[in-house]
Structure 1
Amino acid sequence: MKDGKQRILKSDKPGTVTRYDHNVKQSEGIYGGTVKLGKATKRHSGDYTLEEHGSDGILLRKVTVHLEIQAPVPKPVVSQTCLSPEQMTVSCSYEGDGAEIIFKLDSQLLIQTGNHRISLGNWPANKSSVTVNLHGQLTGNLTCQIKSSGRSQGTFIRLEACKAPVPKPVVSQTCLSPEKMTVSCSYEGDGAEIIFKLDSQLLIQTRNNSVSLGNWPANKSIVTVNLHGQLTGNLTCQIKSSGRSQGTFIRLEACKGI
């Protein structure tokens, strides 16, 4: 019997066993009076009672054992998302619900849930998550710990400062005559390094400062080089910032009569 009301099996005589699968679902079988549950779940928890009766129906022995099925503590997933150099979000999620979440940056507690579920609006029903907004330049060890029934699992990542995206340069050619052209490289923003080449020949390289035309917008940087109008080749501009880069190239064509 389970919990004093659900009969699991009954043996009338040696070799004759009646099983009640509607009370113990997912059982794999009964072997010599032993019930093998197979994939045990929390609903299998409870008090199991064995009663032994004599041929006259008199109770000879009664033994009760309590079974507690505990689900494994899920391993949390920790992530960082940069929204800008000044803002980021950090998240901790895990499969399931009902566990306690302790979310820290180094020794600083960011959030702690008290054994209840906090989830995003469109998050799957079997997944719990917490999300915290932080300044984009914070760094350190970001740790999330999941606690349930006295057990715990933890995950940590190294939090990195957010960087501004590297802009993609725009490269252009302008023919002034068959003997003269100008080539330009521009990008949105400033403070990045520009490397401007024709094939393997370096045309100009700026050193992390803004080179702009007099009437150019304040948030745009540009370099312009005069070349002979009959030059051809691959014109490449590369923008470098904070160890990252973006590049663009065009095919330089000889200028024709204007």
Structure 2
Amino acid sequence: MIFIYMILTALVLTAIGLMECDVSETTKAQQCIAALGEPLIFHLPTTAKMITLKKDKNNVLNIVNNKVALDKGNQVLSAFIIDGKLRLDNIMKKHSGDYQWELFNTLGELSEKIQMHLEIQATVTEPVVFQTCLSPEQMEVSCSSEGDEVGFILRLDHLLLMQTRTPIQSQRSWTVDTQSLTTDKQDKAHISNVSISLFGLLTGNLVCRVWNNVSRDEKVIHLKSCKDCVSCCPVLTIALKTSVATLLLLMALCVCLRYLSKTRNP
């Protein structure tokens, strides 16, 4: 049997808060990133009499005299003005895409256009860490987290073991895997996983840190030595189980043959 240690020590930090995007003093194209389900704040121009937000040439909302009117197709959103800033709630993955702000002056004339790309990302979850002893001399450590474009850092005490970049790319000395937990095209939950092979006698505090553009979290576990792992050899274990099963089968066959022999020769 392979020894598996699953340590669920918890809580470090998850940085999630109000995401803000400033379109108040620029005419350049903007790149904005927001967390799935979290509020999104827009800093708006103060000189415009009316502001319209469009996505793919379709109206999303209009702002006139600090009052927001949502288009009928966007009623899932919650929008209101606070201190001259636009706040959007109930942000979903489907709201990612290319937008255009249109600013109108006091005469009702279009005075300015601002292009914006909005990306909605699911925040990372607290990492789950496994330590697996493969033999007294070899162990495998894996770390997984749910979220979009998850990056990983693994450290043993002050030693950097591995680091991935986002979006995740496979590296030579470790493996990385991502998969989807749902079949829904919108708001999918993705799990990312990394694993690394280590010397079985290593001990210390192992830190797995995960992050993306909208959040971060980490978990610390105590890495245990595999020196006392006396049943870590899966090949030997399988061979032993096979031998025992074969022996039992032969014994049963012998008993059956003796029984048949007695019934034929009373």
TM range (shorter): 0.3 to 0.5
Output the TM-score relative to the length of structure 1: 0.47
Give the structure with the higher percent helix: 2
Q: Which has the higher contact order (CA 8 A, sep 6+)?
A: 2
Greater radius of gyration (CA): 1
Output the TM-score relative to the length of structure 2: 0.45
